[in-house]
Amino acid sequence: MDGENDFKYRRITIIGLGLIGGSLGQSLKLNSPHLEIVGVDKESVIEKAISCGAIDRGTTVLQKGVKDSDIIVIATPVQVILKMLSEIKPYLKKGCLITDTGSTKTEIMKEAEKVFTDEFDFIGGHPIAGSEKEGITSANPDLFKNKPYLLIPKKRNSPSAKLKLSTLINSICAIEMDIGIKEHDELLALISHLPHLIAVIMTNMFGSWSAEKNKEDYLKIGGNYFQEMTRVATSPFSIWKDIFETNSTNITDFLLKLEKLLAAARKKITDNPDLLEEDFRTAKFFKEKMLEAKKDLLNNFLNRYRKE
């Protein structure tokens, strides 16, 4: 595709070699072996990242890790990203592109606009891919395949900034999508942050209820539906703490709306369960539209990829 020659023989630094950072490194090495991937993390993590093919070399020293790199990807929890932006600035080469993989964007983009001048490009990034698993040992080079990758550029970037990141996203077979800051955080509150909280609450309800009944055997009964609904409940709080801190307004707004909807559903069940039929019919309509939209997104991406 256009721009690939501009992307060859470049160095990329990934700060944070967890599930996302490690998977990104593996995917880049698999699909763009000419790239040099440098990792920044703890020594024990770096060793595992090298052995699993996520990076070529690594360091625990931030200055060494970002030196002479063309692209810096910060794949850490959100609060760490916020601190990292100003910490890396003195060591960046002119023309460097910085991006992140954070799950919230308002605070990150605000900090990026403040820290980075025209000398450095910044594009906020968020791959809509993940797992309840964590760490470099769970890295998967196919994690981003056919998954949306949301982008939010700062107000002033060089003309080549978007091309660089687009090339990277195409390389890992993700689907690039532009989105506004406000829309991103509202959307993620609804489709990710609130559902995750519900999974935690439902898991705790089931576990507590089983304990109250003194029937741990009940824990064996959770069927596929419940298991899938609560799959993400094992995710570490260390990551989610930052998300709830930096997107609290949107999450609590949707929580209030959910409380009203649950109260309405409870009343319908009490008064006349037949009243829920309209809710089921509406949900079927919207779910089918969601599935069709995802299918169209994938088909458009594949058609564009074939042309390129």
Give the chain's length.
Answer: 308
Per-residue pLDDT of the chain (308 residues; tens, 9 = 90+): 444 444 444 899 999 999 999 999 999 999 888 899 999 999 999 999 999 999 999 999 999 999 999 999 999 999 999 999 999 999 999 989 999 999 999 999 999 999 998 889 999 999 999 777 889 999 999 999 999 999 999 999 998 999 999 999 999 999 999 999 999 999 999 999 999 999 999 999 999 999 998 888 888 887 788 989 999 999 989 889 999 999 999 999 999 999 999 999 999 999 999 999 999 999 999 999 999 998 888 887 777 666 55
Q: Which two tokens stand for residue 57?
A: 């070399």
Q: Which two three-digit tokens encode residue 241?
A: 């703490």
CB atoms within 10 A of CB 104: 27
Structure tokens at 250: 């949107």
Neighbouring C-beta atoms of residue 128, cutoff 10 Å: 17
Q: Which of 27, 25, 49 is nearest to 37 (CA)?
A: 25
Q: pTM higher than 0.95 for the full model?
A: no
In degrees and rounded to multiples of 5, residue 294 shows phi and psi of -65, -40
CB atoms inside a 10 Å sphere around CB 213: 10
CA-based R_g, the chain, Å: 22
d(CA 56, CA 36): 6
Cα–Cα distance between 83 and 52 in angstroms, integer?
28
List CB contacts of 167: < 8 A, sequence separation 6 or more: 1, 3, 4, 6, 7
d(CA 187, CA 155): 21
